[in-house]
Amino acid sequence: MQTEALQGGFADPAVDAAHAFRAAMEAMARPGTIQTVAGAEPPAPLSQAAGVLLLTLCDAETPLHLAGAHDCAAVRDWVVFHTGAPLVGAEKAMFALGDWAALQPLDRFPVGTAQYPDRSTTLVVEMSALEAGGATLSGPGIRERAALSLPEVAAFQRNAMLYPLGVDFYFTAGAQLAALPRSITVEG
């Protein structure tokens, strides 16, 4: 393990995690809103927001899948040291992290079962930027309509048709994050 893995975690874990958890839940409760987070300095290619989410939502009982360029020694060591999350294949992941292309195909991730729809994967999609424009969102947590820059529309429409099954999404770029639960209708 490199010494860089020992750095970049929360300086004040209780306070930083509380602020980050509030931002993550606010993003999921109000799809399409963009939250700004702070407190983590993860190794590249992780964005600050992705690092904050991992520190907040992952622990030793949270299987994590790293995809593409994010599956590198620096990120693996950092995640294991700071969260203890076991690194697993896509089919066993509770969380998965990577850019959009690396996370494809989406159907390899668990979507839950009729008895336990919550046993699905939450995908953390690293993006170059997040904007309140692009695809139109409607559904629970959105007053009328919201807009969010998504990597595509069709995949999110297919995912919403599985409801109450399906996967949920966080999108991260720099220090920003947004969320898209499976219950949201997405239009191009």
Tokens of 139: 């559904």
* 3-state secondary structure (DSSP) of residue 43: coil
pLDDT at 33: 97
pTM across the whole model: 0.95
Domain count for the chain: 1
Could you tell me the residue range of the domain that residue 67 belongs to?
3-187
Q: Looking at residues 31-58, what average pLDDT do you find?
A: 96
Domain CATH code at residue 161: 3.40.50.11310
Q: Of 178, 37, 175, 17, which Cα lies nearest the Cα of 82? A: 17
Q: Which of 8-12, 72-76, 96-100, 171-175 has the lowest mean pLDDT?
A: 8-12
